[in-house]
Structure 1
Amino acid sequence: MAIEKVKAYFEKYNLADRIQEFEVSSATVELAAAALNCEPKRIAKTLSFMVGGQAILVVTAGDAKIDNAKYKAQFGTKAKMLTSDEVVDLIGHAIGGVCPFAVKEGVAVYLDESLKRFETVFPACGSSNSAIELTIEKLEKYSNYSAWVDVCKCWN
């Protein structure tokens, strides 16, 4: 199970005990915010796309939406989200638990500027009922991100 991979990943950093698992679903921004009792915008949602035959992840704030023009300017292609089967095969997590941790080799992770306004955010941890609170600096470190990007709208 993907949550076990994420727990093993965070064990290396002595952070596995910070992963929160809920009795309720946290598969959407709204459900995660309710489970965590926080503002939806502080949920770090991880979106999966195909760029030039490679799967990528873009982590955005919960209230941000992909801006197609900005996305195309950044990645040189139209935003094409992966199907649920592709997400499992190419990323290694199922929709609802996709996160930038313990992903398959070759998956590039990008962090969207919409996250920078927060001290801490809550990404999922590989299951549809998990999350971890991380500072932006820790998110950078543990996501092994490639770059910061500006590909969203509706948040500022």
Structure 2
Amino acid sequence: MCGAELKPLPKGAQRVADWLQQRGHAHLPVLLQDSTRTAQEAADTLGVQVGQVAKSIIFRRLPDEVAVLVVAAGDHRVDAAKVQALVCGQGQELARADAAFVKAQTGFSIGGVAPVAHARAVVALIDQDLARFDTIWAAAGHPHAMFQLTPAQLQALMQAPQADIAAD
């Protein structure tokens, strides 16, 4: 053995890989040695700009308990008020989602939430500023798994609108 044996993907990353493969996406998840829990960790591990990391943020819409997924450029802070204005109707508001809610709604743990292949349907938005990059990287269902794509591919796979969600 040369030490380069193939290791199976963790369960969440395999679910993302299967989902992407069914849709003909060319870049399947890669399992990285270093953590990619934060956008900065992912950028450092991949050798890319932090903005190229498409981070997934989950909010809880109240009172209907719907998960709201925002996929944002890694160098942006998400403005919850902007998101709320886009996805909440009268009598609804956004709250922070805790780890149990994120896991129940998406099937992924915080730090590895993929933009696709969720356990349940989510309301989703994409940071319009991701379009400034030719290539981006998104979490793939595990804190050490990422996959490559273009902003246009992200939008096509997610079937979600782009919006101005960054904090000023």
TM-score normalised by L of structure 2: 0.83
| Whole-Å separation in 2 of the counterparts to 1:66 and 1:83 | 17
Please tell me whether residue 88 in structure 1 is matched to residue 103 in structure 2: yes
In structure 1, the residue matched to 2:7 is: none
Structure 1 residues 1-156: aligned runs within 5 Å: 1-15=11-25, 18-51=28-61, 52-76=64-88, 77-145=92-160, 147-154=161-168
Query: What letter is aligned with 2:166?
Result: C
In structure 1, what is the Cα distance between the partners aligned to 2:148 and 2:54?
10
- Contact map agreement 1:112 1:150 (CA 8 A) in 2: yes
Q: How high is the sequence identity, in percent, across the aligned residues?
A: 27
Aligned residue pairs, count: 153
SS at match of 1:38: coil
Normalised TM-score (structure 1): 0.88
What is the CA RMSD across the aligned residues, in angstroms?
Answer: 1.8
1:17 positional shift: 5.5
* Distance in 2 between residues matched to 1:91 and 1:133, nearest whole Å: 20
Deviations 1:21-67 (A, max 9, x none): 10111111111011100111110000001124211211000011122
Residue 117 of structure 1 deviates from its aligned partner by: 1.4
The structure whose Rg is larger is 2
Post-superposition CA distance 1:54-104 (Å, at most 9, x none): 112110000111223323322335442210111111111111110111102
Supply the distance in 1 between the matched residues of 2:21 and 2:144 (Cα, whole angstroms).
19
Q: Show structure 2 runs of 5+ residues with no match.
A: 1-10
- The aligned counterpart of 2:5 is none
Q: Distance in 1 between matches of 2:29 and 2:73?
A: 19
List structure 1 segments (4+ residues) > 4 angstroms apart after TM superposition. none
